[in-house]
């Protein structure tokens, strides 16, 4: 399951466009809409501060 | 472990790294850029989302400055559409800064007292022409000696926040003076209608055409140091570690990451202390807003000089409608938080920024906020607090730092990062020959 490390996430939103189903949104920290997220994990390498993980 | 050989390895593909890499490749150095993310550009990139071409950082591109000069020298297409000059909202009215005597005129408008405006402008001019104020006090502390007028302090807060990304109660007194004397301020701004990535891809082409390469999804793991000099970079690529040997390394990874990559065991403690004491990555809140009609009537930026938090508003689709789906408009808003370092009170800061926007923009209530993001920490708006610039070298030879963590004194943002790339390559040329 996609996990957001809230301590590392700065909320830049750079991961948003990498999500094919538009489940991510920067709102302070990154918000994951769990109803939409299909766990493809394509966002993980798009985080500049390594805040996205599978866990 | 696989082996590769280049003259130069550049870590990170922000504007500083790509400028350095393209200039070096153009001069005959076989150059490799390694980028950890799946795309190039860093905070000068473009990402598509819901039909919008969103900037990954830079709000505007300087026209007539060092980046345009670099593109011309390399024979590239500097496709940037010029915006109108900045406007300043003072006392509810918008003013364009006149070409000559602009700052003095705006201080006069803010103050409403010509004598006081003359006196305050005289102080700034003295900083430019005679002696800059010391960096040991903040701009606000310095200016407060000469005026307590909240309208003047508010005006300078707006200007410094927009230009340098920080608050007058945090920026050192000399930062604004040096920004004018050393960098010459910003000339003019524009927007890349095909996106920032179009510009970055051309720099990548220069590197490839000259025998080099650009690897994405390829994080640097460490800089190889032998006998006190950089000898290459270990890179993670396709699940394995590749050692790339090189004569030189240029790091666009930011000062903190560069220390990790070089290894503190290879570094002089004075440098590590300098970074620990003076390295202050700055935060900004960033809103990207969609609407059916343009929310700003201007073809240029607005600095709301007396706002609570918002320091810069731009409607890039007014000059480049290509950046939004047909019939849509995009607004980009910067807002300086109360403190430029985390932790931040997101809800409180957002509330104040939204109050500002409701005051400034009629029809704002119908807009859709696509994202309310931060640049902060290891992905900051600027790596260097203006006035506290770090050197671009350490004791380890043949590795230079570029980017907004290694700008020359008084320089900032895109022009500063671009120049830092050029300076590193000019210095490298004096020491190392291609193919040696």
What does the domain layout of chain A look like in residue ranges?
A: 2-46
Q: Where in chain B is the domain with CATH 3.50.50.60?
A: 2-79+194-279+384-431
Q: In 3-state terms, what secondary structure has residue B115?
A: helix
Asked if the Cβ–Cβ distance from B374 to A28 is below 8 Å, we say yes
Asked if the Cβ–Cβ distance from A45 to B217 is below 8 Å, we say yes
Which residue of B50, B217, B375 is in closest CB contact with A12?
Answer: B375
Q: Which residues of B touch A27 (CB under 8 A)?
A: 371-372
Which of A4, A7, A9, A10 to probe the B interface (max B CBs under 10 A)? A10
Chain B residues 16-35 within an 8 A CB cutoff of chain A: none
Long-range pairs for B106-109 at CB < 8 Å and ≥24 separation?
A: B106/B155, B106/B159, B106/B305, B107/B152, B107/B155
CA angle B55/B412/B331 to nearest 5° reads 30
Q: Are B13 and B252 in contact (CB under 8 A)?
A: yes
Which residue carries 């990451």 as its tokens?
B257
The pair of structure tokens assigned to B426 is: 């000019």
Question: Is this prediction's ipTM beyond 0.85?
Answer: yes
Question: Min CA distance, A38 vs chain B (Å)?
Answer: 18
Cα–Cα distance, B204 to B206 (Å, whole number): 5
Which residue of B37, B375, B376 is in closest CB contact with A45?
Answer: B37
Q: Are B381 and B282 in contact (CB under 8 A)?
A: yes
Asked if the Cβ–Cβ distance from A17 to B48 is below 8 Å, we say yes
How far does Cα B144 stand from its chain's mean position? Answer: 28
H-helix segments, B49-149: 66-73, 102-111, 114-129, 139-144
Nearest to B275 by CA among B298, B299, B295, B258: B258
Which residue of A13, A28, A46 is in closest CB contact with B37?
Answer: A46
Q: Which residues of A touch B371 (CB under 8 A)?
A: 13, 16, 25-27
Measured over the CA atoms of residue B318, residue B321, residue B324 and residue B328, the dihedral's sign is: positive
Nearest to B57 by CA among A37, A33, A26: A26
Q: Where in chain B is the domain with CATH 3.90.660.50?
A: 81-191+284-338+342-376
Chain A residues 19-38 within an 8 A CB cutoff of chain B: 22, 25-29
pLDDT tens-digit profile, chain B (436 residues) = 567 999 999 999 999 999 999 999 999 999 999 999 999 999 999 999 999 999 999 989 999 999 999 999 999 999 999 999 999 999 999 999 877 788 999 999 999 999 999 999 999 999 999 999 988 999 999 999 999 999 999 999 999 999 999 999 999 999 999 999 999 999 899 999 999 999 999 999 999 999 999 999 999 999 999 999 999 999 999 999 999 999 999 999 999 999 999 999 999 999 999 999 989 899 999 999 999 999 999 999 999 998 999 999 999 999 999 999 999 999 999 999 999 999 999 999 999 999 999 999 988 998 999 999 999 999 999 998 899 999 999 999 999 999 999 999 999 999 999 999 999 999 999 999 999 8
Question: Min CA distance, A39 vs chain B (Å)?
Answer: 19
Q: What are the distances in angstroms from CA B85 to CA B82, B170, B196, B298?
A: 9, 27, 20, 10
Cα–Cα distance, B310 to B329 (Å, whole number): 19
Q: Which residues of A touch B50 (CB under 8 A)?
A: 22
Question: Min CA distance, B143 vs chain A (Å)?
Answer: 33
Asked if the Cβ–Cβ distance from A13 to B379 is below 8 Å, we say no
Q: Are B16 and B404 in contact (CB under 8 A)?
A: yes
pLDDT of residue B1: 55
**What is the assigned CATH class of domain B2-79+194-279+384-431?**
alpha beta
Q: Which residues of B touch A17 (CB under 8 A)?
A: 47-49, 54
B81-191+284-338+342-376 placed in CATH 3.10.450.50: no
Which of A4, A16, A22 to probe the B interface (max B CBs under 10 A)? A16
H-helix segments, B239-325: 255-262, 269-278
Instruction: DSSP for B218-242, please give it.
Output: --EEEEEEETTEEEEEEEEETTEEE
Which of B346, B347, B379, B380 to probe the A interface (max A CBs under 10 A)? B379
Which residue of B54, B372, B379 is in closest CB contact with A48?
Answer: B379
- Which chain A residue shows the shortest CA-CA distance from B351? A28
Size of interface A-B (CB pairs under 8 A): 60
Q: What is the pTM of this model?
A: 0.97
Q: How confident is the model at residue A32 (pLDDT cuts 50, 70, 90)?
A: very high
Count of CA atoms in the C-beta half-sphere (13 A) of B27: 19
pLDDT of residue B304: 96
Architecture of domain A2-46: 2-Layer Sandwich (3.30)
The pair of structure tokens assigned to B230 is: 């950089």
């Amino acid at each position: 399951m996609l996990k957001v490390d809230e301590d590392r996430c700065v909320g830049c939103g750079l991961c948003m466009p990498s999500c094919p189903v538009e489940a991510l949104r920067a709102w302070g920290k990154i918000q994951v809409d769990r109803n939409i997220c299909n766990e493809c994990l394509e966002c993980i390498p798009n985080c500049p501060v390594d805040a996205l993980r599978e866990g | 472990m696989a082996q590769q050989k280049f003259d130069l390895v550049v870590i990170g593909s922000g504007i500083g790294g790509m400028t350095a890499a393209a200039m070096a490749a153009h001069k005959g150095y076989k150059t490799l850029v390694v980028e950890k993310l799946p795309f190039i550009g860093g905070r000068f990139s473009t990402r598509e989302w819901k039909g919008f071409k969103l900037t990954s950082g830079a709000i505007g591109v300087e026209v007539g400055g060092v980046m345009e000069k670099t593109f011309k020298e390399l024979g590239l297409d500097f496709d940037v559409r010029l915006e109108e000059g900045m406007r300043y909202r003072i006392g509810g009215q918008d003013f364009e800064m006149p070409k000559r005597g602009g700052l003095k005129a705006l201080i006069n408008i803010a103050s409403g007292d010509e004598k006081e405006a003359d006196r305050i402008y005289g102080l700034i001019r003295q900083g430019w022409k005679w002696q800059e104020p010391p960096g040991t006090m903040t701009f606000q502390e310095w200016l407060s000696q000469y005026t307590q007028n909240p309208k003047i302090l508010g005006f300078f807060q707006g200007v410094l926040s927009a230009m340098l990304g920080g608050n007058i109660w945090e920026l050192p007194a000399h930062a604004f003076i040096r920004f004018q004397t050393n960098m010459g301020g910003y000339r003019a701004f524009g927007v890349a209608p095909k996106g920032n990535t179009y510009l970055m891809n051309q720099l990548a082409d220069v590197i490839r055409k000259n025998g080099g390469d650009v690897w994405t999804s390829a994080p640097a793991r460490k800089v190889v140091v032998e006998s006190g000099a950089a000898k290459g970079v270990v890179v993670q690529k396709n699940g394995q570690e590749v050692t790339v040997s090189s004569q030189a390394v240029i790091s666009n990874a930011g000062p903190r990451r560069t220390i990790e990559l070089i290894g503190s065991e290879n570094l002089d403690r004075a440098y590590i202390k300098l970074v620990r004491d003076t390295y202050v990555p700055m935060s900004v809140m960033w809103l990207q807003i969609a609407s059916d009609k343009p929310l700003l009537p201007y073809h240029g930026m607005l600095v709301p000089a007396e706002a609570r938090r918002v320091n810069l508003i731009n409607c890039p689709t007014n000059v480049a409608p290509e950046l939004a789906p047909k019939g849509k408009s995009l607004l980009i808003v910067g807002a300086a938080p109360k403190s430029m370092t985390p932790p931040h009170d997101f809800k409180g800061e957002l509330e104040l920024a939204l109050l500002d926007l409701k005051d400034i923009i009629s029809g704002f209530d119908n807009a859709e906020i696509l994202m309310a993001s931060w640049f902060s920490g290891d992905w900051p708006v600027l790596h260097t607090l203006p006035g506290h610039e770090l050197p671009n070298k350490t004791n380890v030879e043949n590795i230079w730092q570029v980017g907004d963590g290694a700008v020359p004194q008084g320089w900032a943002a895109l022009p500063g990062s671009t120049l830092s790339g050029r300076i590193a390559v000019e210095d490298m040329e004096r020491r190392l020959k291609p193919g040696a």
